[in-house]
Structure 1
């Protein structure tokens, strides 16, 4: 059994589970549901075969379960299997109808004092942290584990992309990391699902390249937000307006509001780069809260193409376009407003 004091992360628990080093009780809690669902699924699939699940997997749901029934299930022994798994989903809803949430969860403290070695209890508590001190105190004295799945911040996404790629043994170029992070963001289910799909499409080098992303997850090689940024920075007016025309013809793939949001973040970060006191790579990464060296390098290069005053004006233009495109103070077509915005940016 692994040492109690080691750092509990998704990947450390994943390794344990895949090595069939199971804990008797798992509390999976927090605001990010992806890791909670993923770990729960890993536990079930690694502890039980498909045939064993028929007799040794018990699923309970917090909205309508009584804790005494969960405890009773935990005290049963497996049938023709080394383990039985009891999963309590939606534990945040236990006892809410009678305002007895904490007292119901705390009933588990007595089971936690002496859990069965043949039972794996998995408690999925989404949206926050479990507030049952009697139970969690007992849990910490035993071999159980509490894992908190914190909400993922945008600046953390590139690191998670790299970690996930390492965990599934696929290489990824740094530009590809930035593209996935900015195009998909912190929707981890979709993000990791796309990476899984891209891995199947890699060539002999087993590498996720920008071209692979552009061809397979809704990017056009020339017409995406990154190409628009590059066209703006290089003052390539012809290419910039070709991209705008493409966006207008494909509004589902390139909705205007998120595009404006990306441009707003782009020029805000350029302004932050321009005002940074620490000009080192690490200092600039800290200044803009971006962990991708490739992305920060691109921002630093762009910062030399615009003055601070120009950036301030451009940010104001973007805000004005955002308001008008939502129908506030203007009946003009949103993409006509967008073309006007791009013209202003190119001539700033």
Structure 2
């Protein structure tokens, strides 16, 4: 049975754009970026900017208490059809249990959005009452395989097109962080200038890397068992970086996502599936499936587990756990990330 998480982001956004508002919304979950986006859209669609002074209140639960907020919610609009009240950090609002009664009888002349930064105890009031009476939705972090589609849709929503390779590079680069993805897309649009189609070269330009020396070519060099090329790419990236340690941390994060995909391909029978099913399963464009399949055949579960261990250790060192130079940390890391048949033979 599918998990009930309430209306989707797209459903809510469409309703807001069509001026279809409910008197009370209750949003919660880990993916606060989507909640932020809906909050801004709600305010933009419900109120003219000239109406903000008297009809918009955005408050934080950690800075106020329930009776004061309920007073705002029960107020009447001034020169506007509705007033809007947004309560961020609702879970931190002192005495928020008072919203149990408000949930049953919300002010029809207000649009109230209550937003939690995590998932609260939905079996306790006021959350139980809000789930029963309000329009509620839970926003969970996306899965890796959902990110390419999200990136594609977000770029199109900005009025641009994006090439499949650029989508994959972005997805590998940002992981499942929607806020970071949106920021990188905005950066790409700036780099693109007058162009309306974003390309892989744009992704590289925005990241300060080059077509030959970048973390995505590093992935390929590792998966194909080319140690000299992998080392040369890492050296050049670090030489060109204004902050080599931060650049190394980024490479470790992207490589962790790469090995996540190879791990998924270790599932019995996975490599025999068609490329479209595999693309959805590991979260890449069908165009790149063969590259991942070939790499997966050079690793076994033990080798990938060792790669994970090495990546965790490198991340710890680079984030202050040790004083070794970033270049040395990465050199030692590469030796453990190569496929077993491409690793140097110990003397």
Alignment equivalent of 2:219, drawn from 225, 229, 254: 229
CA deviation digits over 1:282-336, x for unaligned, max 9? Answer: 554576x4354344332013345x364xx855864774586489399x9875524
| Contact 1:91–1:123 under 8 Å retained in 2 | yes
Cα distance in 2, alignment partners of residues 32 and 130 from structure 1: 17
User: In the TM superposition, what is the alpha-carbon distance from 1:55 to its structure 2 partner?
Assistant: 0.9
User: In the TM superposition, what is the alpha-carbon distance from 1:206 to its structure 2 partner?
Assistant: 2.7
Cα distance in 2, alignment partners of residues 255 and 133 from structure 1: 45
Determine whether 1:147 maps to 2:137.
yes
What is the aligned-residue RMSD (CA, Å)?
A: 3.6
Q: In 2 relative to 1, CA 40–130 (structure 1 residues): closer, same or farther, beyond 3 Å?
A: farther
Determine whether 1:110 maps to 2:109.
no
| Contact 1:321–1:341 under 8 Å retained in 2 | yes
Determine whether 1:277 maps to 2:269.
yes
| Contact 2:122–2:131 under 8 Å retained in 1 | no
User: In the TM superposition, what is the alpha-carbon distance from 1:19 to its structure 2 partner?
Assistant: 1.8
| Contact 1:156–1:291 under 8 Å retained in 2 | no
| Contact 2:122–2:128 under 8 Å retained in 1 | no
The aligned runs of 1:65-144 (5 Å cut-off) are 65-95=64-94, 104-129=95-120, 131=122, 133=124, 135-136=126-127, 138-139=129-130, 142=133, 144=134
| Contact 1:270–1:302 under 8 Å retained in 2 | yes
Greater Cα shift, 28-37 or 277-286? 277-286
| Contact 1:87–1:121 under 8 Å retained in 2 | yes
Gaps of 5+ in 1: 96-103
1:297 match: 290
Count residues in correspondence.
330
TM-score (norm 1): 0.78
1:176 match: 166
| Contact 1:31–1:128 under 8 Å retained in 2 | yes
Alignment equivalent of 1:266, drawn from 253, 258, 268: 258
Greater Cα shift, 119-128 or 188-197? 188-197
Cα distance in 1, alignment partners of residues 124 and 303 from structure 2: 53
Cα distance in 2, alignment partners of residues 200 and 337 from structure 1: 33
2:243 match: 252
Cα distance in 2, alignment partners of residues 189 and 268 from structure 1: 21
Secondary structure of the residue aligned to 1:122 is strand
Cα distance in 2, alignment partners of residues 94 and 6 from structure 1: 23
Gaps of 5+ in 2: none
